[in-house]
Structure formats: C-alpha cells, structure tokens
Structure 1
C-alpha cells in the first residue's frame, strides 16, 4: 500500500504545541450498582499533550475502550474529570459533546461504524457537512484524506462492496478529515495486514508530529513502539507508563 501525504491536513493550532489536549483526572466509570456493579475504570489519570502519540495496552477487560469512549465524549465518567482542551466533557449536554466530536475529535471504532447507504467519500465527508461545509468542499477534503490512507479508488464504493481492511481504512480517513486536534483509535490496525497496518501507523505518527494528539489502543507491541509512550491498564487502573526503545520492553510492561 502506497500512502500519500495530504496537502489539506491541518497544522498544529496555537503557538504552544505542548499544551494538554486531553486530561483524565481521577476518572472512575462504574456500571450497575450493588452486587451487579462493574468497575470499568478506577482513579485513572492521563494527560496527553499536543503533538504526543500515546499507545494504550492491557488485557481484555482492562478498561481500554472505556477510556477511549470517555475521552471522545461517547460516555461520561461516574466521577472525576475528562477535559478536552480545557473543556469539561461531563458538564456538556449530549448535543454539545456531539459538536465537539465533529469539530475536534476523530474516532476510529473497532467495528468501523460506516453508514451502509453512503459511499466512502460520503461517509468521510458526512461530519464536515453536518458542521456546515459545502458539499463540494467537504467531498474535496474527503477525497484528499482517502488518498492519504491509500484508498482513493474506493471513493464511490459503499461499505458492502469493501473488504474489512478497506472499510477500516475508510473509517480511519473519516477520523482524520478536518481540523482534528485529538485522534482516538481503537485497534486501528485490527483488520489490516502487516504492510497496511504499518502504513496507517505512518499516517498517525505524521499527524502527531504535526501537532495533533493521538491515543491508540493496541494489543501489538510492534505498533505501540511507534508511540512516544505506552500506558498500561489492568483491572481499570493505570499501572505503568513507559517510553520504550524496543518493542520487547512493551511486552515486559504488559506482563507486569
């Protein structure tokens, strides 16, 4: 897969490129109550600055997807604060969080979440159109980012006519389009072969280098090694954070 650099992708916003973009402060998320209570996150703290690429690792059920859902405003914390560029997501209405996601947060879902009735270019441009972009401008931006992730030829194809790997790259393009200052990716390479996965990591790394904050859940040490640091979760708690020089160091952290 040959990837191309987008000429329309956003540059870092503001003069202080190391400001916090995402902050989780003693965040708890529980479901149910009493005997049925399940703790998904417990006193989780995390700060991600502009231009930083953070990988999240941990065993199944450790709270990785819950953390991303809270960071993206898809869920709200039971206790604690989740701040995106200083704005408290817990104090926003559902519609206000939706506007913030459209304008500032790109989210790559594990199950892609593409709209089946829309083509690839329509799926990618849809958030921009909701935010008031003209159809022509939104489609141009969508085609540019589809080209960036290597699937420009799928622009007029619907999800049912794509392979899993193709659909995943379209979903990644949708997360990248527009002025996304925070990119959240839940296993973005899960449906991709090794070469395509490496290509997507190149794109995410480049976005971080240009000022976006990237948080990626992954179970693969070789992909986490692209990040500036790796945060480990276990039983809903942040148990370690490391800046490894070798993927083997990540396996040690994961085993702790």
Structure 2
C-alpha cells in the first residue's frame, strides 16, 4: 500500500469511529493492456456495527466484486480492506482464513450448504474448523438454528428442506459464534417474495443486535431494509441514500 493509501487508512475525521469494515481506495482490474477490465475504481466505504448497507447497481457494476473483496475472497489491485481494525493485506493466507471463520459470515444466493451434512452439522462445521470443542460448537449451532426458527430441523439434510429453510440454515451458519460482519450476495434471489422478506427480517435482526451488514441486491424492496443504500456504476460509487431518503425513494420496509 502506498503512502496515500496508508494516510487514507489511518483514523481521520471522516472515518466512522466504530467501522467494522472499511474499504479505502479499493480498485480491482482484471487483465492488462487493451484487454484490462476495471471492476472497481477507487471505492471508499465504511460499514459500522449495527448498520446494514445495501449495494445496488446494474449487472456488471461491480457489486459482487466489491463483496468478494470485502470478505477477503479476492485481493484488490489497489487500496486496502480493513476488518475490525486489521488490514487484510497484512495477513497471510492462514490468518485471512481464520479471520473469515471468526469474524465474517457469508450468505449466498445458492446457499452453499454441504448436501451430505445435516443442518446442525453445516452450522457446526466452521466452528469445528476453527478449533472449538465439539460440545461447544454444537451448543452454539443449536442457538443459531433456534434464532432462525429451525430448532426442529437439526437432523434434516439440505435436500429435505425448502429453499427458504436452506437459506435460513445459511444465515445461521453466517452468524454462528457472534460474527460481526455479515456479507450477503443476493440472498433472496432464489426465494419467493414472502420467504425473501422473512430472510431480510432475519438479517436486519442480526444487524440490530450489533453486527455490521453488507448486502448486494437488485431488489428495491429489500434494499429498503438497509440503513444506507450505495449505488455503483462502472465500478464507482455514484450516489448513496440514508434510510430516511431511501424510504421516500423505495417505500417503507414491511
């Protein structure tokens, strides 16, 4: 990271004091020369504890790339990603993986559940991978499943669950162990409208309990659950709205 980026990453008057996630001058370029494609260009973004930020934009605007970089799944070409005060560029592969297991929860459109594991085992797995004792991991997983209304489905396999139930298992896995940053990529895209609203309510509840949330969505009615909506175009933030402004533009949350 160059001197300008370091200066930007340092605490300043414009930085959110309790930001769980900070993107500082983040760019991502694929390819080189004439074939280079800029997916993100100099993005600055803070997400605080207790705040849900929705990312909106047309297909190809950089939404999913931004989320992937925020979660350490991709490296930025330039700029810095800071999670809970730790610059991801300063971590080696093992430390990055550990940070993702302990602090980050991912919710994807296609659920990404392991079909040969039960709901309880899917939620328990990241805790066990992080070295939690089996009994404690099971207890925390049971609490997480109960929080999404699936206490009766511990032993069910993904194929035995509805799409909405699978997504709720994915949310339980994302929040288990008190993860402080929840990253959701079109989490309602494969669900009907009623189930999608229920999933958004669960995400909103977890954020209200103290997590920071970053949501990629193309649905205005789901973005309306957010405290802030950030609009991307061609890899750049072109505008943003706070909740009061968003309610007038998108309509109130249900």
- Normalising by structure 2, we get a TM-score of 0.86
The aligned residue for residue 119 of structure 1 is 118
The aligned residue for residue 188 of structure 1 is 187
CA contact (8 A) 1:232 1:238 kept: yes
For structure 1, the residue ranges without an aligned partner over 5 or more in a row are 1-16, 252-256
For structure 2, the residue ranges without an aligned partner over 5 or more in a row are 1-15
Counterparts of 2:110 and 2:32, CA distance in 1: 29
CA contact (8 A) 2:186 2:215 kept: yes
Aligned residues: 235
- SS of the equivalent of 2:73 reads coil
The aligned residue for residue 242 of structure 2 is 243
Counterparts of 2:189 and 2:17, CA distance in 1: 30
The CA deviation at 1:18 is 5.5
The aligned residue for residue 178 of structure 2 is 179
Q: 1:92-115 deviations in whole A, cap 9, x for unaligned?
A: 222111100111111112222212
Give 1:105-116 correspondences, 5 Å limit.
Answer: 105-116=104-115
- SS of the equivalent of 1:132 reads coil
Q: 1:114-169 deviations in whole A, cap 9, x for unaligned?
A: 12221111011111111222222212221222222223333212223333332222
CA contact (8 A) 1:118 1:158 kept: yes
* C-alpha RMSD of matched pairs (Å): 1.8
Deviates more, 1:146-155 or 1:165-174: 146-155
Give 1:32-43 correspondences, 5 Å limit.
Answer: 32-43=31-42
Counterparts of 1:40 and 1:130, CA distance in 2: 32
Counterparts of 1:198 and 1:165, CA distance in 2: 10
- Normalising by structure 1, we get a TM-score of 0.86
The aligned residue for residue 213 of structure 1 is 212
CA contact (8 A) 1:18 1:51 kept: no
CA contact (8 A) 1:25 1:46 kept: yes
The aligned residue for residue 128 of structure 1 is 127
The aligned residue for residue 5 of structure 2 is none
The aligned residue for residue 226 of structure 1 is 225
